[in-house]
Structure 1
Amino acid sequence: MVDAAALDWIVRLGDPAFEDWDGFTAWLEADPRHAERYHALEADAADLATLVPAPAQGMPAIAPRASSRRGLWISGAFAASVAAIAGYGVLQNRADPYGIETAPGETRTVALADGTSIALNGGSRVILDHRDSRIATLERGEAYFMVRHDADRPFRVKAGEDELLDVGTAFDVARDGAGIRVGVAEGAVLFNPSGEKVRLEAGQGLLSNGRSIRLAEVSPESVGGWRQGTLDYDGAPLEQVSADLSRALGHRIAVAPAIATRSFRGTISLDVVRDDPARLGPLLNVRIRRNGDGWEITPLP
């Protein structure tokens, strides 16, 4: 591994008796990543070296020896490398986040190292960690989590100020400006384990807007239904329906304020309306028409 070799060179270069300059130069020139990782770890080592306590009073000092010209080039590296080796485990435990996102109308499934998989709906972004496959942050949009349960290391999902803890679970989380929605298909999740501690079993859902929490019954089969091309609702406001349609279809679909809170019960087949959202009009009992580069849901005349 490049990091292991770089650390080995840091230690060796810190030895006053070091002579293998040709070998070190050859290693640096063999791959551009070698120099990059060497200097990055040397900088980390220098930072960690500041944490090493000074010699206790009364301890014998080590007499300095004359340094060679090349030795001056890495002056102080040996002390830093000692700290680097002692603290390298800390460095390895640092978060290493990366983002996965989808465009509106696009879906994607990500397999994690622990066996968990995450399906992303359109217009969504999730932050993961290369060094910890048991945590995810939903920045926006919607994701369906199929979690491999580990009682010793439960999977955590963060969405804004809220957090979900898996209890052997398949569940869906949607996050938008109105808050978050959760639906559980299998197992159970714990909502805000450090706060409200609301346990949701399969067939239960939750809506949170940051001020209040509302529980609801859901059909386990309908949770994450967008993955199979359907959206199921039981009294959802049209503003939620329009947001879901925008994600899934890749079209901007707005709803007139006058009917934004009107509730809808029914099932929408995404394939039927993908190319022409206006076909939804009769089902929603509204008028849907073009508005610029998107669509608008308005009351019937």
Structure 2
Amino acid sequence: MPADPRTLAETRAIDWLIRQRDPGFADWDGFADWLAEDPGHSAVYDAMASLDLDLDALPKSAPEPAKPAVVIIPHDAPRRPSRRAWFGGAIAAALVGAVSLSSLGLFGDANRIETAAGEHRTIALAGGSRIEINGGSVIELDKERPRFARLASGEAMFHVVHRDGDPFVVEAGASKIVDLGTAFNVVRRNRATSVAVSEGVVVYNPGKDNVRMNAGKAIDAHDDDKAPPAVRDVDVGSVGGWRTGLLVYNGTPLTIVAEDLKRTAGLDISVAPEAAGVSFRGALIVDKNRARTVADLAALSGTKAARQGDGWTLTR
């Protein structure tokens, strides 16, 4: 009997995950090609990577404390080469270090999570929802409102378990995003909010604009906008692509691309005035060799990249 396509995809995704944990991994082109082979590969890869949130698989050598409202899954946890850890919901056992915010002892405010540029972090919320936070971002939670989060700045991907009569609400500046059972990415920058949906449905500003977005739809809204934002199409596979190091653009200002690379990879890229108006189209793979990523950006945008101290400057 031929193997089920889903099983084959999951096996291949596990192979990629294990290989990418090797510090010497360099086959990002091959990984991008595999993602492009089938729109479903990205979802399968994300599902395999997200199994580390199965808290029931954590070793229980000590008496189990009350389950915290929020746990953090560090993305820089020790690497384990054994494939066995990736099956049966046991990834969490291979990613030691899920801890409650209150016991972490590194934050003055346990309800505020702040990431550095290039740092990625996942938090698991009570009830099964989770938030993947990009670098250079600030998320604020409220212990009195377990189904609420505020994206003060930066970018995050929300995976929400829907509950009838108790929606999950995300605030970002003047924007309010309400889930109807979904996964969606939110970016907050310069008094503007962008939302892209990869699964299910969200409603943007239900009490004002009441814009409904299904999977494959996105909006870009400014705090000062008087009219509801226009809904545009987006490739579902590219939503939250920063999590796997794949950034896809279709007519985005080069300055925004540079900002995204700063947040996602910690790359310090400035854009010279004469190149600020460049509209970028293409896909970027965040390579471990950061110079290669910058070189790809310059080649695809028709600009020149010059090293400036610890960063780069793009010129025409």
Q: Structure 1 length as normaliser, TM-score?
A: 0.64
What is the distance in 2 between the residues matched to 1:144 and 1:262? 27
How has the CA–CA distance of structure 1 residues 211 and 146 changed in structure 2, closer, same or farther, with 3 Å as cutoff? same
The number of residue pairs the alignment matches comes to: 204
Question: Which of 276, 279, 288 matches 2:305?
Answer: 288
Give yes or no for the alignment of 1:204 onto 2:217: yes
How has the CA–CA distance of structure 1 residues 97 and 160 changed in structure 2, closer, same or farther, with 3 Å as cutoff? farther
| Counterpart in the other structure of 1:138 | 151
| Counterpart in the other structure of 1:254 | 270
Taking the TM superposition and a 5 Å limit, the aligned residue runs for 1:74-93 are none
CA deviation vs aligned residue, 1:245-286 (integer Å, no higher than 9, x gap):
110111222222333232111110002652444312112211
**Counterpart AA for 2:247:** L
How has the CA–CA distance of structure 1 residues 97 and 151 changed in structure 2, closer, same or farther, with 3 Å as cutoff? farther
Kindly name which structure, 1 or 2, has the bigger radius of gyration based on alpha carbons.
1
Q: Can you give the 5+ residue segments of structure 2 that lack an aligned partner in the other structure?
A: 1-108
What is the distance in 1 between the residues matched to 2:259 and 2:133? 15
How has the CA–CA distance of structure 1 residues 272 and 263 changed in structure 2, closer, same or farther, with 3 Å as cutoff? farther
Question: What's the secondary structure of 1:235's corresponding residue?
Answer: strand
**Contact 1:97–1:130 (CA<8 Å) still a contact in 2?**
no
How has the CA–CA distance of structure 1 residues 215 and 255 changed in structure 2, closer, same or farther, with 3 Å as cutoff? farther
How has the CA–CA distance of structure 1 residues 178 and 161 changed in structure 2, closer, same or farther, with 3 Å as cutoff? closer
Question: What's the secondary structure of 2:263's corresponding residue?
Answer: helix
**Contact 1:273–1:279 (CA<8 Å) still a contact in 2?**
no
| Counterpart in the other structure of 1:180 | 193
Runs of 4+ in 1 over 4 A off after TM superposition: none
Give yes or no for the alignment of 1:238 onto 2:254: yes
CA deviation vs aligned residue, 1:18-42 (integer Å, no higher than 9, x gap):
xxxxxxxxxxxxxxxxxxxxxxxxx
Taking the TM superposition and a 5 Å limit, the aligned residue runs for 1:10-89 are none
What is the distance in 2 between the residues matched to 1:296 and 1:151? 50
Q: Structure 2 length as normaliser, TM-score?
A: 0.61
| Counterpart in the other structure of 2:22 | none
Instruction: Give how far 1:126 is off.
Output: 0.2
| Counterpart in the other structure of 2:11 | none
**Counterpart AA for 1:290:** R
Q: Can you give the 5+ residue segments of structure 1 that lack an aligned partner in the other structure?
A: 1-95
What is the distance in 1 between the residues matched to 2:206 and 2:267? 36
| Counterpart in the other structure of 1:297 | 314
Question: Which of 151, 161, 165 matches 2:164?
Answer: 151
What is the distance in 2 between the residues matched to 1:107 and 1:123? 9
**Counterpart AA for 2:118:** G
Question: What's the secondary structure of 1:185's corresponding residue?
Answer: strand
Question: What's the secondary structure of 1:271's corresponding residue?
Answer: coil
**Counterpart AA for 1:126:** I
What is the distance in 1 between the residues matched to 2:306 and 2:260? 17
- Percentage of matched positions with identical amino acids: 43
What is the distance in 2 between the residues matched to 1:97 and 1:199? 33
**Contact 1:97–1:129 (CA<8 Å) still a contact in 2?**
no
How has the CA–CA distance of structure 1 residues 152 and 171 changed in structure 2, closer, same or farther, with 3 Å as cutoff? same
CA deviation vs aligned residue, 1:53-109 (integer Å, no higher than 9, x gap):
xxxxxxxxxxxxxxxxxxxxxxxxxxxxxxxxxxxxxxxxxxx97111211001000
How has the CA–CA distance of structure 1 residues 292 and 209 changed in structure 2, closer, same or farther, with 3 Å as cutoff? farther
**Counterpart AA for 2:287:** D
CA deviation vs aligned residue, 1:184-230 (integer Å, no higher than 9, x gap):
00011111111111111100010012233242210111100011110
| Counterpart in the other structure of 1:217 | 233
